Amino acid sequence: KHQEISNFCRTQGYDFHINPASKRPVKAVIKYLPPDHDPENIKSFLKNELKFPVERVIQLKKLRTRQLLPFFLVELQRTKKSEEIFKIKHINYLKVEVEHYRGRNIVNQFFKCNWYHHKAGECQSKARCLKCEGPHETNQCSITDKILNPKCINCGEMGHVVSFRRCRSFPKLQTAQQNRSNSSNSQRRTFNTNAKRVRENFFYSSALNPQPRQEMAPRNIINENSQSLDPPSNTFKDMAEGLAELKKLMQEFPNLFSALKELR
Protein backbone atom coordinates (compact mmCIF):
# COMPACT_ATOMS: atom_id res chain seq x y z
CA LYS A 1 0.00 0.00 0.00
CA HIS A 2 2.88 2.35 0.67
CA GLN A 3 4.12 1.92 -2.88
CA GLU A 4 0.62 2.54 -4.27
CA ILE A 5 0.21 5.73 -2.27
CA SER A 6 3.67 6.93 -3.27
CA ASN A 7 3.00 6.27 -6.96
CA PHE A 8 -0.34 8.08 -6.74
CA CYS A 9 1.28 11.15 -5.15
CA ARG A 10 3.99 11.20 -7.82
CA THR A 11 1.53 10.95 -10.72
CA GLN A 12 -0.65 13.71 -9.23
CA GLY A 13 2.32 15.97 -8.57
CA TYR A 14 1.84 16.10 -4.79
CA ASP A 15 4.64 16.91 -2.39
CA PHE A 16 4.99 14.15 0.20
CA HIS A 17 7.39 12.41 2.56
CA ILE A 18 6.10 8.96 3.47
CA ASN A 19 8.49 6.47 4.98
CA PRO A 20 7.00 3.10 6.05
CA ALA A 21 7.89 1.71 9.45
CA SER A 22 9.47 -1.37 7.87
CA LYS A 23 12.01 0.82 6.07
CA ARG A 24 12.82 3.11 8.97
CA PRO A 25 16.27 2.34 10.39
CA VAL A 26 16.91 1.05 13.88
CA LYS A 27 18.68 3.78 15.83
CA ALA A 28 20.91 3.05 18.81
CA VAL A 29 23.23 5.21 20.89
CA ILE A 30 26.56 3.82 22.12
CA LYS A 31 27.67 5.44 25.38
CA TYR A 32 30.91 5.59 27.40
CA LEU A 33 33.34 5.46 24.49
CA PRO A 34 36.13 8.09 24.43
CA PRO A 35 35.17 11.30 22.58
CA ASP A 36 38.14 10.86 20.22
CA HIS A 37 37.08 7.35 19.17
CA ASP A 38 36.85 7.02 15.39
CA PRO A 39 33.25 6.33 14.20
CA GLU A 40 34.65 4.32 11.27
CA ASN A 41 36.30 1.90 13.70
CA ILE A 42 32.95 1.38 15.41
CA LYS A 43 31.25 0.77 12.07
CA SER A 44 33.93 -1.68 10.99
CA PHE A 45 33.73 -3.60 14.27
CA LEU A 46 29.93 -3.87 14.20
CA LYS A 47 29.81 -4.78 10.54
CA ASN A 48 32.76 -7.14 10.17
CA GLU A 49 33.12 -8.66 13.63
CA LEU A 50 29.50 -8.82 14.83
CA LYS A 51 27.80 -8.94 11.40
CA PHE A 52 25.31 -6.13 12.03
CA PRO A 53 23.68 -4.44 8.99
CA VAL A 54 25.10 -1.01 9.85
CA GLU A 55 24.33 1.86 7.51
CA ARG A 56 26.20 4.65 9.24
CA VAL A 57 27.77 5.74 12.54
CA ILE A 58 27.96 9.40 13.52
CA GLN A 59 29.21 11.12 16.65
CA LEU A 60 26.69 13.35 18.43
CA LYS A 61 27.46 17.00 19.16
CA LYS A 62 26.11 19.71 21.40
CA LEU A 63 23.46 21.71 19.62
CA ARG A 64 24.91 25.17 20.26
CA THR A 65 28.65 24.73 20.81
CA ARG A 66 29.05 21.81 18.36
CA GLN A 67 31.32 20.13 20.89
CA LEU A 68 31.84 16.42 20.29
CA LEU A 69 30.13 14.19 22.84
CA PRO A 70 31.07 10.64 23.95
CA PHE A 71 27.89 9.33 22.30
CA PHE A 72 27.73 7.61 18.92
CA LEU A 73 24.53 7.20 16.91
CA VAL A 74 24.28 3.95 14.95
CA GLU A 75 21.70 3.42 12.20
CA LEU A 76 20.99 -0.15 11.09
CA GLN A 77 18.64 -1.78 8.62
CA ARG A 78 15.49 -3.01 10.33
CA THR A 79 16.11 -6.76 10.71
CA LYS A 80 15.88 -9.27 13.56
CA LYS A 81 19.64 -9.11 13.94
CA SER A 82 19.54 -5.35 14.45
CA GLU A 83 17.57 -5.65 17.70
CA GLU A 84 20.48 -7.56 19.26
CA ILE A 85 22.68 -4.47 19.23
CA PHE A 86 21.18 -3.39 22.56
CA LYS A 87 22.75 -6.46 24.19
CA ILE A 88 26.31 -5.41 23.36
CA LYS A 89 28.53 -4.76 26.39
CA HIS A 90 31.96 -4.26 24.77
CA ILE A 91 33.22 -2.59 21.58
CA ASN A 92 36.91 -2.65 20.65
CA TYR A 93 37.71 -4.02 24.12
CA LEU A 94 35.96 -1.08 25.79
CA LYS A 95 32.96 -1.39 28.07
CA VAL A 96 29.90 0.35 26.61
CA GLU A 97 26.18 0.74 27.11
CA VAL A 98 23.75 0.76 24.17
CA GLU A 99 20.38 2.49 24.44
CA HIS A 100 17.53 3.45 22.15
CA TYR A 101 17.94 6.79 20.44
CA ARG A 102 15.73 9.59 21.73
CA GLY A 103 15.76 12.48 19.31
CA ARG A 104 15.95 16.11 20.31
CA ASN A 105 12.70 17.98 20.82
CA ILE A 106 13.21 20.20 17.78
CA VAL A 107 11.50 20.77 14.44
CA ASN A 108 13.38 19.32 11.47
CA GLN A 109 13.34 21.40 8.30
CA PHE A 110 14.75 20.07 5.06
CA PHE A 111 16.68 22.72 3.12
CA LYS A 112 15.62 21.41 -0.31
CA CYS A 113 11.85 21.88 -0.02
CA ASN A 114 11.81 24.00 3.18
CA TRP A 115 9.01 21.87 4.66
CA TYR A 116 9.08 20.39 8.14
CA HIS A 117 9.27 17.08 10.02
CA HIS A 118 11.36 15.04 7.58
CA LYS A 119 14.89 14.49 6.32
CA ALA A 120 16.65 14.16 2.97
CA GLY A 121 16.13 10.41 2.64
CA GLU A 122 12.35 10.75 3.03
CA CYS A 123 11.67 13.84 0.92
CA GLN A 124 9.71 13.47 -2.32
CA SER A 125 8.81 17.16 -2.62
CA LYS A 126 9.86 19.67 -5.23
CA ALA A 127 12.70 22.05 -4.47
CA ARG A 128 11.73 25.54 -3.30
CA CYS A 129 14.08 28.50 -2.99
CA LEU A 130 13.54 30.52 0.19
CA LYS A 131 14.80 33.67 -1.56
CA CYS A 132 12.77 33.79 -4.77
CA GLU A 133 10.41 30.79 -4.28
CA GLY A 134 11.70 29.32 -7.54
CA PRO A 135 11.76 25.56 -8.31
CA HIS A 136 15.40 25.14 -7.31
CA GLU A 137 17.44 24.80 -4.14
CA THR A 138 18.48 27.96 -2.31
CA ASN A 139 22.20 27.43 -2.89
CA GLN A 140 21.54 27.43 -6.65
CA CYS A 141 19.65 30.76 -6.64
CA SER A 142 20.94 33.60 -8.80
CA ILE A 143 20.30 36.07 -5.97
CA THR A 144 23.54 36.22 -4.03
CA ASP A 145 23.03 39.49 -2.15
CA LYS A 146 21.30 39.70 1.21
CA ILE A 147 17.60 40.51 0.94
CA LEU A 148 16.71 43.33 3.35
CA ASN A 149 12.97 42.66 3.42
CA PRO A 150 12.47 38.97 2.52
CA LYS A 151 9.13 37.27 1.96
CA CYS A 152 8.27 34.00 3.67
CA ILE A 153 7.40 31.33 1.11
CA ASN A 154 5.16 29.49 3.62
CA CYS A 155 3.00 32.19 5.23
CA GLY A 156 3.47 34.97 2.63
CA GLU A 157 4.34 37.66 5.17
CA MET A 158 7.16 40.14 4.69
CA GLY A 159 10.10 40.62 7.03
CA HIS A 160 11.30 37.07 7.64
CA VAL A 161 12.35 33.90 5.84
CA VAL A 162 10.81 30.44 6.11
CA SER A 163 13.20 29.32 8.85
CA PHE A 164 12.05 32.08 11.23
CA ARG A 165 10.76 30.28 14.33
CA ARG A 166 8.19 32.97 15.13
CA CYS A 167 6.54 32.51 11.76
CA ARG A 168 2.86 31.61 12.16
CA SER A 169 3.34 28.58 9.89
CA PHE A 170 6.34 27.27 11.86
CA PRO A 171 5.29 24.26 13.99
CA LYS A 172 5.09 25.08 17.70
CA LEU A 173 6.40 22.54 20.19
CA GLN A 174 4.83 22.13 23.59
CA THR A 175 7.21 22.67 26.48
CA ALA A 176 7.32 20.51 29.61
CA GLN A 177 5.58 23.28 31.56
CA GLN A 178 2.70 23.36 29.05
CA ASN A 179 2.36 19.57 29.25
CA ARG A 180 2.18 19.72 33.05
CA SER A 181 -0.38 22.51 32.86
CA ASN A 182 -2.56 20.58 30.42
CA SER A 183 -2.32 17.46 32.56
CA SER A 184 -3.30 19.31 35.73
CA ASN A 185 -6.25 20.97 33.99
CA SER A 186 -7.54 17.63 32.71
CA GLN A 187 -7.26 16.05 36.15
CA ARG A 188 -8.65 18.99 38.10
CA ARG A 189 -11.09 17.82 40.77
CA THR A 190 -14.25 19.62 41.77
CA PHE A 191 -15.16 20.30 45.41
CA ASN A 192 -17.26 17.56 46.97
CA THR A 193 -19.10 18.54 50.14
CA ASN A 194 -19.49 14.91 51.20
CA ALA A 195 -15.84 13.97 50.63
CA LYS A 196 -14.60 14.63 54.18
CA ARG A 197 -17.41 15.01 56.66
CA VAL A 198 -16.95 15.52 60.41
CA ARG A 199 -17.20 12.23 62.27
CA GLU A 200 -18.54 12.13 65.80
CA ASN A 201 -16.48 10.45 68.57
CA PHE A 202 -13.41 10.39 66.30
CA PHE A 203 -10.30 12.27 67.39
CA TYR A 204 -7.12 13.45 65.66
CA SER A 205 -4.93 11.15 67.79
CA SER A 206 -7.01 8.16 66.69
CA ALA A 207 -6.50 9.03 63.04
CA LEU A 208 -2.69 9.07 63.47
CA ASN A 209 -2.57 5.89 65.54
CA PRO A 210 -1.45 2.92 63.36
CA GLN A 211 -3.13 0.46 65.73
CA PRO A 212 -6.69 -0.62 64.95
CA ARG A 213 -9.13 1.89 66.30
CA GLN A 214 -11.54 0.76 69.02
CA GLU A 215 -14.94 2.30 69.00
CA MET A 216 -15.73 4.29 72.12
CA ALA A 217 -19.06 3.95 73.82
CA PRO A 218 -21.18 7.06 73.42
CA ARG A 219 -21.56 9.28 76.40
CA ASN A 220 -24.70 8.94 78.51
CA ILE A 221 -26.96 11.86 77.93
CA ILE A 222 -28.59 13.11 81.14
CA ASN A 223 -32.33 13.19 80.87
CA GLU A 224 -34.15 16.23 82.10
CA ASN A 225 -36.51 14.03 84.17
CA SER A 226 -33.70 12.10 85.89
CA GLN A 227 -32.88 13.01 89.47
CA SER A 228 -29.82 15.05 90.14
CA LEU A 229 -27.15 13.38 92.25
CA ASP A 230 -26.16 16.66 93.87
CA PRO A 231 -28.06 17.61 97.05
CA PRO A 232 -29.94 20.89 97.11
CA SER A 233 -27.72 23.85 97.72
CA ASN A 234 -30.12 25.25 100.43
CA THR A 235 -29.32 22.37 102.86
CA PHE A 236 -25.60 23.15 102.88
CA LYS A 237 -26.36 26.81 103.39
CA ASP A 238 -28.51 26.16 106.49
CA MET A 239 -25.91 23.85 108.02
CA ALA A 240 -23.17 26.42 107.52
CA GLU A 241 -25.25 29.15 109.12
CA GLY A 242 -26.08 26.93 112.14
CA LEU A 243 -22.46 26.08 112.77
CA ALA A 244 -21.51 29.74 112.57
CA GLU A 245 -24.16 30.66 115.17
CA LEU A 246 -23.02 27.87 117.49
CA LYS A 247 -19.41 29.04 117.27
CA LYS A 248 -20.45 32.59 118.06
CA LEU A 249 -22.49 31.44 121.06
CA MET A 250 -19.58 29.42 122.47
CA GLN A 251 -17.32 32.43 122.22
CA GLU A 252 -19.78 34.59 124.20
CA PHE A 253 -20.59 31.94 126.84
CA PRO A 254 -17.60 29.63 127.20
CA ASN A 255 -19.11 27.95 130.31
CA LEU A 256 -22.41 27.18 128.63
CA PHE A 257 -21.87 23.39 128.37
CA SER A 258 -20.73 23.19 132.03
CA ALA A 259 -23.87 25.00 133.20
CA LEU A 260 -26.09 22.70 131.17
CA LYS A 261 -24.46 19.62 132.75
CA GLU A 262 -25.08 20.99 136.28
CA LEU A 263 -28.74 21.68 135.49
CA ARG A 264 -29.18 18.06 134.35
pLDDT digits (tens, 9 = 90+) for 104-153: 777 777 778 888 877 777 777 888 888 888 999 988 999 888 888 999 98
Examine the pLDDT at 38 and tell me if it is beyond 90: yes
The set of residues, in sequence order, having a beta carbon less than 8 Å from that of 137 and lying 6+ positions away, is: 111, 112, 127, 129
Collect all residues with Cβ–Cβ distance below 8 Å to 13 and sequence separation of at least 6.
none
Strand 68-76 to strand 26-31: parallel, antiparallel, or no bridges (unpaired)?
A: antiparallel
| pLDDT, tens only, 150-174 | 999 889 899 998 888 889 888 887 6
| 1-100 placed in CATH 3.30.70.330 | yes
Gyration radius of the chain's alpha carbons: 46
User: Dihedral of CA 2/133/142/135: which sign?
Assistant: positive
Question: What residues contact 43, with CB distance under 8 A and at least 6 apart?
Answer: 54, 56, 57, 74
Outline which parts of the chain fall under CATH 3.30.70.330: 1-100
Helices (H) and strands (E) in the chain, counts: 6, 6
Rounded to an integer, the average pLDDT of 8-26 is 74
DSSP state of 83: G
Work out the pLDDT band at 240, boundaries 50, 70, 90. confident
As a whole number of angstroms, the distance between CA 176 and CA 244 comes to 88
> How does residue 74 score in pLDDT terms, banded at 50, 70 and 90?
very high
DSSP 8-class letter at 129: -
Element (H, E) at 90: strand 90-91
Model-wide pTM > 0.85: no
The CA distance from 1 to 22, in Å, is 12
Are 74 and 27 contacting, i.e. CB atoms less than 8 angstroms apart? yes
- Rounded Cα gap, residues 162 and 115, in angstroms: 9
